[in-house]
Amino acid sequence: MLVSLMVPCYNEEEALPFLYEALCKVMDECPKYSYELIFVNDGSRDKTLQVLKDMAAKDPRVRYISFSRNFGKEAAMYAGLSAAKGEWIGLLDADMQDPPSLLPEMFETLESGECDIVATRRVSRKGEPPIRSFFARRFYRLINKFTDVEIVDGARDFRVMTRPVVNAILSLSERQRFSKGIFAWVGFRTKWLEFENVERIAGETKWSFWSLFLYAIEGIVSFTTAPLRIATLVGFFISCLSFGYLVYYFVHAIMLRIWDDVPGYPSLLSFMLFLGGMVLMALGIIGEYLAKTYIEVKHRPLYVISEDSESKKEEKEED
């Protein structure tokens, strides 16, 4: 049986040799399967592509796909999953934060037939900036509250899946992909393995605080329209309040017989500002969804491949 292991790589020249060595160890440990290693070079600026080419030249199990520029990890994962030919497909990061040493246990679990996906989650966030952990936790709470998919806190993309699961994932054709949500959305029987957070072996993370924030919004907008409903509800609530205030004002005026209520300017101003803010926020929320629809409608490809190991092989054969 063929097992495909796929790795998205962006500027990972330093980490790749370690990863390759670790994967070789796993493949030696579980010799009953045959393997293909698919590396997707996501427009790296360092020598990642060269490292991959050298690996592919030495080891026939290694395949690579190289993008014309950086399209992001989501696109890289999609490309890798589409290219995979195996019956089982594994997904892991290049930086050894998804310990390959867990793979044999994952294969064993899948072999038992009691699940279709063996996924992993980190039980600690050791070595991560506390502020990042804090916001990550809040994000998971929020997204699970508002969406009907359950995204597990600390869930990694590190997982091994059977063919039907991968086909289901590939059948979701959206352009802006939020894999954590997609994995949860497709369902199937999932078994979770837990591990302690490991720090990346070399190189540095590609996530800035800002990009994580945008990613969080992306996740929410991709999987729920609840913010639109919240905007409607808040609007309704504020209308009720202001109507109540109007009634209060008239009753008050009639009782005290004061009609020229010039004092009250500050409260008027704060109401106006508050409402203005609310309207802008609601517009912004609508804008998010509109923009998403716009991008989906354009239907651009998720990535552009500049070269891959298959076409290189064919070229060589023709020569």
| Residue 8 contact among ligand UDP, Mg ion, none, beta carbon within 5 to 8 Å by kind | ligand UDP
CA distance 249 to 261: 10
Shortest spacing between CB 124 and ligand UDP, in angstroms = 14
> Cβ neighbours of residue 155 under 8 Å, at least 6 residues apart?
119, 120, 121, 180, 183, 192
| Residue 70 contact among ligand UDP, Mg ion, none, beta carbon within 5 to 8 Å by kind | ligand UDP
The pair of structure tokens assigned to 148 is: 């009907």
Please report whether residue 132 would count as binding ligand UDP according to CB under 6 A. Answer: no
| Touching Mg ion, residues 62-121 (CB under 5 A) | 95, 97
Shortest spacing between CB 70 and ligand UDP, in angstroms = 5
Q: Around Cβ 132, how many Cβ atoms within 10 Å?
A: 14
Beta bridge partners of 190: 117
Q: Which is nearer to ligand UDP, 207 or 243 (CB)?
A: 207
| Residue 72 contact among Mg ion, ligand UDP, none, beta carbon within 5 to 8 Å by kind | ligand UDP
| Touching ligand UDP, residues 41-100 (CB under 6 A) | 42, 70, 72-73, 76, 93-95, 97
Alpha helices in the chain (DSSP H): 16-29, 48-58, 73-83, 103-111, 130-146, 163-171, 179-186, 209-223, 226-256, 265-298, 309-318
Sketch the per residue contact string, 142 through 181, with Mg ion: x for CB under 5 A, - otherwise.
----------------------------------------
CA distance 140 to 153: 6
SS3 assignment for 142-196: HHHHHCCCCCCCCEEEEEEEEHHHHHHHHHCCCCCCCHHHHHHHHCCCEEEEEEC
Name residue, tokens 């009753």: 251
Please report whether residue 200 would count as binding Mg ion according to CB under 5 A. Answer: yes
Q: Which is nearer to Mg ion, 125 or 292 (CB)?
A: 125
Beta bridge partners of 161: 89, 117
Q: Which is nearer to Mg ion, 127 or 244 (CB)?
A: 127
Query: Which one of 2-10, 134-142, 173-181, 255-263 is the stretch in contact with ligand UDP (CB under 6 A)?
Result: 2-10
Please report whether residue 200 would count as binding ligand UDP according to CB under 6 A. Answer: yes
Binding site for ligand UDP (CB under 6 A): 8-10, 12, 42, 70, 72-73, 76, 93-95, 97, 200, 205-207
